[in-house]
Structure 1
Amino acid sequence: MGFTEIKNWLRHRHPMLYLDRVLDYEPGVRLVSRLSVSGQIDAIAGHFPERAVFPASHLSQAFAQSGIILFQLSTSPLADDELTLVGSMNSRFFHVVAPGDTVTFTVTADRLVDGTTFFFSGRAFVDGKTVGAFRSSLVRRKADALGHQWW
């Protein structure tokens, strides 16, 4: 699944779209995705000017986006009036990710509850070395159930 198709599965857009490609997936089981980290990514500009580091918070977001795609592939695509929200996330980071690195995410479906709550886990790798480990949950909600929207 290339970048253009990924945009069909996510509400995110530049500069908050972090996946370049989905390499492989099996609905209800797993998804493998990729992010190529470039010095031109907006988050890199100020993090940190003297030694560029890809922020761990953005690595977490890329992992969550992988989970969002697997969630939908395992159930159904989001309706126009639906959103996915991160219910919780535990993460651990082992190595710095910098421009020039290619991060591969492996995401595993741990549990699906009523088609509305999805528990998943996974790891992020650069050159075969684990740079992060994650465990998270997502919920699917109607936008109007979230209260008055100011936008």
Structure 2
Amino acid sequence: MNIRKIMHYLPHRYPFLLVDKVIECEPGKRLVAIKNVSYNEPFFQGHFPGQPIMPGVLIIEALAQATGLLASESAPQEILAKDFIYYLVGLDKVRFKRPVVPGDQLRLEVQYLRHKRNIWAFTGEALVDGEFVAGAEIMCAAREADA
């Protein structure tokens, strides 16, 4: 999935679009995406100047965006035919293991757990060089976009 398709599914734009590319996608099962972390990211100016660290909430946001992409790729045709947006509605079991710094490449791995009505549940992990850096159980809800 290239950036155009990512931007089709996600309403986010710079500087809040935190998925650069999708490298694997099995609709209804799993998705793997990439976020390249550059020193030019606007949050590095104020988040630990002198020792830039990607804010943990943005790592979780990147995972949430990856879940939105998997949900979009997995959605039934009647939802895709309408103008729906997936909103983050819950996080459980959030964990951070190590900092993410400029030059790192986040590998965002999300897996579908279940859905009931319009609530979807996923598990997600962010890795750098194969090492776990953060993870969470993520819930999102499909809502019709405002006109």
Instruction: Look up the match of 1:75.
Output: 75
CA–CA distance in structure 1, aligned partners of residues 25 and 18 of structure 2: 18
Tell me if the contact between 1:112 and 1:119 (Cα under 8 Å) persists in the aligned partners. yes
Which ranges of structure 2 fall in alignment gaps of 5 or more residues?
A: none
2:93 is the counterpart of 1:113: no
Contact 1:101 1:126 (C-alpha < 8 Å) held by counterparts: yes
Name structure 1 gaps, 5 residues minimum: 145-151
Aligned residues: 143
TM-score in terms of structure 1 length:
0.89
Aligned residue number for residue 11 of structure 1: 11
1:35-50 matches, cutoff 5 A: 35-50=35-50
- Percent sequence identity is 32
Distance, in Å, in 1 between the alignment partners of 2:142 and 2:35 is 24
Q: Deviations over 1:10-48 (max 9, x none)?
A: 000111000110000100000000100001011111112
CA RMSD in angstroms comes to 1.6
2:140 corresponds in structure 1 to 138
> Which TM-score applies when normalising by structure 2?
0.91
Quick check: 2:47–2:53 contact (8 Å CA) kept in 1?
yes
* Structure 2 residue corresponding to 1:103, chosen from 106, 112, 133: 106
Deviation at 1:50, TM superposition (A): 1.2
Q: CA deviation at 1:143?
A: 4.2
Task: Please give the alpha-carbon distance, in whole angstroms, between the structure 1 residues aligned to 2:119 and 2:128.
Answer: 29
Q: Which amino acid aligns with 1:4?
A: R
Q: 1:78 to 1:51 in 2, by over 3 A?
A: farther
